[in-house]
Amino acid sequence: MKKDLHPKYNPVVFVDMSTGHRFISRSTKTSERKEVIDGVEHSLISIGVTSASHPFYTGQNQFVDTEGRIDKFQKRFGTVRRIGKPKLD
């Protein structure tokens, strides 16, 4: 096998910025910020949205569509009348 073909795989800690929940994993991504966990140095990477804070996974703020899309569009913009195809000269 060729040497240095694959990127280096490092231990990392992904931190959810809104909840502070931590996910310990491994990744090719690194960071200048480091944290030692169980004697192993991990790169610390901040993430905006994870399964700990996303509404789909937490079950909070779910949007329920009671009206259909067409009804919403017509309510918002009114009925749209179609005019025949433009004549090309």
pTM above 0.75, yes or no: no
> Contact, 20 vs 52, CB < 8 A?
no
**Tally of domains in the chain:** 1
> Contact, 35 vs 13, CB < 8 A?
yes
Answer yes or no: is 75 within a domain.
Answer: no
Task: Render pLDDT for 2-23 as a digit per residue (tens, 0 to 9).
Answer: 888 888 899 999 998 888 889 9
Answer yes or no: is 5 within a domain.
Answer: yes
Answer yes or no: is 79 within a domain.
Answer: no
Task: Render pLDDT for 31-52 as a digit per residue (tens, 0 to 9).
Answer: 999 999 999 999 999 888 887 7
Structural domain harbouring 40: 1-55
Answer yes or no: is 83 within a domain.
Answer: no
Answer yes or no: is 78 within a domain.
Answer: no
Answer yes or no: is 25 within a domain.
Answer: yes
Give me the residue label for tokens 């996303």.
54
Task: Render pLDDT for 67-78 as a digit per residue (tens, 0 to 9).
Answer: 677 777 777 777
